[in-house]
A = this chain, B = another copy of it.
């Protein structure tokens, strides 16, 4: 199947002259800000602009000037000269940042829903038997399509065959962090930890100069790597200070029991003993940290990725997001994999994230809407070490933005635009998505992927999965 569903050439293939995608030369690795200014200025006008800068500045009606892959300027009043594009009063905000995902697992979406032991009964056997590099590419393309359509412009992934995940993210035009999973259970792409690290180093080398893709180490979790491997990752990370590390942490009660039994302490403390708690770490979930754990995480500058829907669906309780934030810990909002959270847009995470904290706090006040939107934009960017480049609309930052139609009556009246985004906006309200100055979607049409082929390839794989599930069920009875 390879790249059937992907309209653009892959990394490493011959490209048309003029840049990665034949349209926006500034995306070519090595392009500089000086070069950018030579390009046409695109001015988006007549928009309601939420900048998500520190002061939450809004421009309404506002304009935003884009040069190459960057935001040159923005404001209200008369727009400057350039190629004007009227936004018709639509909302423009930063593209959302999803700092924890397993993109290829779209292929498992909705499988064995409500079944408690589905991981061991279905998912791991299916992964071992059927997940190849080609399958990963197919699942990633389906995820990329959904991310673009749902207003996510940056995604952090951790799975297997991440070079192929990187290829698809590149072809789709998204911005991404690709994480080589390291685990001591049998993985589809490596059989020893040395193999795993070799893959990780290849990944880091291959995407070293890519303007939109960043390699990352992704030890699965303390209980599935152990102290030694975490320590080896910590060492690797110290040698690669510009690359993030991703790890599940304090996610399950089994994990706590394992740490207590094996080391007589918490799983967060084990991770710290391995030296992996640094400002480069994005810790996914953090459902069960103790007060002392949270103090430690804050002291070490660790970032969190909160996966509201996935946590809720698993019945694992409510992550202490407000307690983490109160300690100054940066918390990005994420989706987890589509097997866990089903869908990959962040709009669907906003209301659950807010409601869970209000339920836990017994009041309407915790985690107000503007903080929820910060988590989906600036704080996700900070989690991935990209706060200086993305997450808000400010001069000099990358032009990663989304255009949201305000046409649906469900959105009105708008007394508070952050409430509207949190509790009423759907991913389908996203009308256009831009990454690095390039439109990946306009009027709901994704230009970088062949949607029909992507879906058809995915359904073909799903049929193979289904056949294996029937076999598993037949064997079990």
Binding site for B on A (CB under 8 A): 107, 109-116, 118, 142, 145-146, 149-150, 309, 312-318, 341-345, 348, 351-352, 354-356, 358-359, 361-366, 368-369, 408-410, 412-416, 418-420, 422-424, 426-429, 451, 454-455, 458-459, 462, 465-466, 469
Tell me whether A459 and B412 are in contact in the complex, defined as CB-CB below 8 angstroms, given that A309-B351, A428-B426 are known contacts: yes
B458 in contact with A412 (CB, 8 Å) = yes
The dominant DSSP class at the A interface is helix
Of chain B, the residue at the smallest CB distance from A146 is: B410
Can you tell how many copies of this chain the complex includes? 2
Q: In the complex the two chains form, is A315's CB within 8 Å of B424's CB?
A: no
> What chain B residues lie within 8 Å of A109 (beta carbons)?
412-413, 415, 424
Contact B455 A409 (CB under 8 A): yes
Q: Which residues of B contact A348 (CB under 8 A)?
A: 351
Say which residue of B352, B361, B454 sits within 8 Å of A315 (CB atoms): B361
Do residues A454 and B409 form an inter-chain contact, with CB atoms below 8 A?
yes
A458 to B408, CA, bound (A): 13
A267 to B421 CA separation, bound complex (whole angstroms)? 36
Q: How far apart sit A351 and B342, CA to CA, in the bound complex (Å)?
A: 10
Let me know if B412 and A363 touch, CB within 8 A: no
Determine how close the nearest CB of chain B comes to the CB of A348; give it in whole angstroms: 8
Minimum Cβ distance to chain B for residue A177 (Å) = 22
Question: Contact between B451 and A416 (Cβ–Cβ < 8 Å)?
Answer: no
Q: Are A317 and B116 in contact (CB under 8 A)?
A: no
Chain B CB count within 10 A is highest, among A410, A415, A418, for A410
Collect the chain B residues with CB atoms within 8 Å of residue A309's CB.
Answer: 351, 355, 423
Closest residue on chain B to residue A150 by CB atoms: B410
How many Å from the CB of A106 to the closest CB on chain B? Answer: 8
Known interface pairs A352-B351, A428-B428; A116-B462 also in contact (CB < 8 Å): no
**Would A352 and B352 count as touching, CB distance under 8 A?**
yes
A359: chain B residues at CB < 8 Å are: 312, 315-318, 356
A193 CB to nearest chain B CB (Å): 31
B residues less than 8 Å from A312 (CB atoms): 351, 355-356, 358-359
